[in-house]
Amino acid sequence: MVDPIIWIASATAGLSVWVVVTGRPLQGLPQWRLDGAALRAAGVCGLLGSLVVIGLALTGNAGFAFVSYAVLAITLGGLTGVARALKAGT
């Protein structure tokens, strides 16, 4: 049986690929108030994190993959907050 974390991380990876390639959100998702390089950097961070989680889940470490996904999601949220604050300060 395929672990649900693989499906969730795959969807996040797909969304991140779209953001990295186009530099704009897909149908308003994700709803980050970033543009250009900051949005692409957040997309790369999301993509790399999702690939790590998928790799962990496929090797049988589902619990560690879930915890890693949660930590990486919180980190990405913090990075987008910092990027927003830096953009507003310029």
Check pLDDT > 80 for residue 23.
Answer: yes
Report CA dihedral (30, 69, 53, 5) to the nearest 10 degrees. Answer: -80
Where b means 16+ CB within 10 Å and e means fewer, 59-69 reads eeebeebbebb
More confident residue, 87 or 41: 41
pLDDT at res. 88: 64
- Residue 40 belongs to what H/E stretch? helix 36-58
Instruction: Give the lowest-confidence range in 1-10, 21-30, 47-56, 79-88.
Output: 79-88
Residue 89, pLDDT score: 61
Q: How confident is the model over 28-77, as pLDDT tens digits?
A: 766 767 777 778 888 888 899 999 999 999 998 888 999 999 998 888 88
